[in-house]
Amino acid sequence: MYETSLRMAMVEFGDSLFSRGYTSGSSGNMSVRLDDNRILATPTNSSLGRLVQERISLVSIDGELLSGDKPSKECAFHLEIYRARPKCNAIVHLHSTYVTALSCLKGLNESDVLRPFTPYYVMKVSPLPLIRYFKPGSKQLFSAIASQAQHCSNMLLANHGAITTGESLEQAVNAAEELEETAKLFFLLSGRDIRYLTETEIQELRPRA
């Protein structure tokens, strides 16, 4: 029953993201942790807007396909993140328009790409480190993601897109949506005098230990 509900959630969230233009064609992928040893992942070349519950890939934490269609080649970095972050239960990877545009800019702060100017960006996304460009699906990219995942929940892939994670699929999707809207605001405000949040204001928004 629990597995069925997670499959339903993947279909529903995938359709929602696709229908609102956060992803297109067969780009992007998502996954959820079923238990300590298994994850559900979107199949290779599948559209997030046309997922079929029964065809979603069931994969072991070691990468073995247990049932369903063959997973996306990027499932490998999902597994790396799950191994690095025991509290992570869901991952969303999108090539959404404004986030991808942001990822193509030169001179980004690699430790935290966007200087916070809204409270919700701080609460749902920040910090957002930059992973330098590697060929999609390459071992170098997966290694860089695995290394960064030990320190942060979300990351921007240069010239590629973003990865957001959460303790639930809803949380990971919310982070992806918040990041896209923040990137959109960033471009809308380009050339204007932005009132950034102060360090004190940022720390007030951070979770208390």
Q: Do the beta carbons of residue 27 and residue 46 sit within 8 Å? A: no
Among positive and negative, which fits the CA dihedral 166, 170, 171, 172? positive
Q: How many angstroms separate the CA atoms of 92 and 30, rounded?
A: 4
Choice among 120, 133, 167, 181 that is catalytic: 120
Over its C-alpha atoms, the chain yields an Rg (Å, rounded) of 17
- The one-letter code for the residue type at 20 is R
What CA–CA distance (Å, rounded) separates 67 from 83? 21
Q: Which of 54, 64, 74, 167 is catalytic?
A: 74
Indicate if 74 belongs to the active site. yes
Helix, strand, coil percentages (3-state) for the chain, rounded to 5, are 40, 15, 40
Judge whether 120 counts as a catalytic residue. Answer: yes
* Strands annotated E in 129-180: 130-131, 155-157, 161-166
Q: Answer yes or no: are the C-beta atoms of 128 and 113 closer than 8 Å.
A: yes
Q: Which of 185, 136, 178 is nearest to 157 (CA)?
A: 136
* CB environment 161-188: b (16+ within 10 A), e (fewer): bbbbbbeebebbbbbbbbbbbbbbbbee
What positions carry a catalytic annotation? 74, 120
